[in-house]
Amino acid sequence: MHDDIIDGSPLRRGRPSVVASVGAEQAIVVGDLLLARGVAAAADAGVAATWARALACMATGQLLEPDLVAAPSIAAHAEYVSLKTAELFRASAEAGALIAGAPPGQVRALGRFALHFGMAFQHLDDLLDVLGDPDRMGKPTGLDAANGVPTAVSLLAGRDTGEDVAGLVGRELDAAVAALAAAGVPDDLARWATASLRRALRASGADDHHPLAAGVTAVLDRVDRRLATPTPMTEPQPCATSIP
């Protein structure tokens, strides 16, 4: 909800977003209320600490955005995505494990899995923001680029072609898609997502017969049939932000 306010997104899962329906002021209050209810539902001290860490990490990531726009780099982008997106995945997995009574080692393993899985999600989400089908995604494409949000697409396209992808998307989406394809950006991002999924699988510690391993392996096999050696991507480090 707060993300839709920042992005000015009119849709969420194919329906009008809260901010589009009631305005920014009401949407902020509703979002805060949902956060409060979530914290109340997770009264366990360990779960509350997990979510407090995640919220601090996400806010820290958001604050990095202007610097990343001014001086983009692969390392800076990896830190930004890890903090702003992947830490939410990590907290979700760890909170679920804590509520289920999992032992500490399993909680950490699931957190590491989710951190890398969140990185893969964001790489593909960046790509879909330009190449995706709005009807299938339930939200318009091109919002990140039009709003100047730093994404892996703009990072790779700018590095490889010198194109102003954000400006190109805003003017002509078809031309942007053609420029990205010519630069090999879709394949590069698929490689990044694949590398993150492999790290997630290793971090989980799941054996080959576990449903988690089988699901991730099936996705990897589908991508591997289209790609050569993965392009290196900086590996994320778990956020250590603490709340005084």
Render pLDDT for 191-238 as a digit per residue (tens, 0 to 9): 888 888 888 888 888 777 778 778 887 777 766 655 444 444 566 777
**How does residue 182 score in pLDDT terms, banded at 50, 70 and 90?**
low
* Cα 139 from chain centre: 16
Mean pLDDT value across residues 30-46? 79
Measured CA angle at 4 (ends 77, 115), to 5 deg: 40
> At 15, phi and psi to the nearest 5?
-125, 160
Q: What's the pLDDT at 63?
A: 93
User: What sign for the dihedral angle of Cα 171, 13, 29, 38?
Assistant: negative
Mean pLDDT value across residues 48-60? 91
Q: What's the pLDDT at 240?
A: 66
Mean pLDDT value across residues 67-89? 91
**Which residue reads 């054996």 in tokens?**
207
The separation between the first and the last C-alpha atoms of the chain, rounded to the nearest angstrom, is 26
Mean pLDDT value across residues 186-194? 80
Q: Select 45-224's CATH number: 3.90.1150.10, 3.30.43.10, 1.10.150.530, 1.10.600.10.
A: 1.10.600.10
Query: What ranges do the domains of the chain cover?
Result: 1-41, 45-224
> At 11, phi and psi to the nearest 5?
-125, 150
**How does residue 72 score in pLDDT terms, banded at 50, 70 and 90?**
confident
